[in-house]
A and B are shown apart, each in its own frame.
Chain A
């Protein structure tokens, strides 16, 4: 067994992951703020007007990161849930539970910013289009996962039931991603319409990527915060949680 594997298992125990997460959280907040300020400055102050959509296109700097994260967090959540189901690692279920509300938040924001973008560009807040409908199903999958876990008292059984739901729901992710290719939809294609000079296009792309990175760092920070709370709650009968909370005032 290699050293890497031993370290992995060391941090798979809540007792050693808890302080590690605590140390990492401020760094992820700092990175989120840094990328956020950079991305929004480029997107809202420096990037040029879009040829077709005018200034309204700037919603892209919010909408695309939120949509990416809503899908990516689902994959990560399903990965942790599957790992927990296969190997019965305590940390896995906690990670999956910690990610679900943040994923739901981004799925909602994707729909919200999408509606506010759709209204001026398509003339409709909402259409029952493949891309929009599959993203709405993603939000329902997150809500279903959270509700199912909340309905089961025993955390280990809640993890298992949630994991099955999460894994079955993974099928929705490629449907969302490829919906704009597979069906005729109102939603624009995967790549942003970058019909301008390369430097301008690059500016829009950089703004979008930096905003996506900011959302990514935010997600890690807030999920780590939540997983620490879940750890305290679930491990409250253990000596390490008792020692931690009674010693440190």
Chain B
């Protein structure tokens, strides 16, 4: 272990602001990116499922409508 105390570690030889500012922003963005990708995927999947349900609903309605016409 390189550090004598936790305070030394945080201070980073008076460069704490720069070192931790780099690490913090990098970590935040590298958590934010996959989170946004996951959220985008969920939104898309929900939208497509709604669309497919609507389409299959329409298809079955038009099939049954065609069936009634044939029976008339």
Contact = CB atoms under 8 A, between A and B. Distances in A.
B1 interface: yes
B68 to A, nearest CB: 26
B67 interface: no
A59 B19 contact: yes
Interface residues of B, number: 32
Given A59-B22, A112-B25, 17 more contacts: A45-B1, A54-B14, A62-B22, A105-B30, A112-B22, A113-B25, A116-B21, A116-B22, A120-B15, A225-B38, A225-B41, A232-B44, A232-B45, A232-B48, A233-B44, A236-B48, A236-B51
A218 interface: yes
Contact of B25 (A49, A54, A109): A109
Contacts of B41: 225, 228-229, 232
B30 to A, nearest CB: 6
B66 interface: no
A44 B8 CA distance: 12
B23 to A, nearest CB: 6
A46 B1 contact: yes
A81 B33 CA distance: 22
A144 interface: no
Contacts of A48: 2
B13 A245 contact: no
Contact of B15 (A45, A55, A102, A108): A55
A222 B37 contact: yes
17 contacts: A44-B9, A45-B2, A48-B2, A49-B13, A59-B18, A59-B22, A63-B22, A105-B29, A109-B25, A112-B25, A113-B25, A117-B18, A221-B34, A225-B41, A228-B41, A229-B44, A245-B48
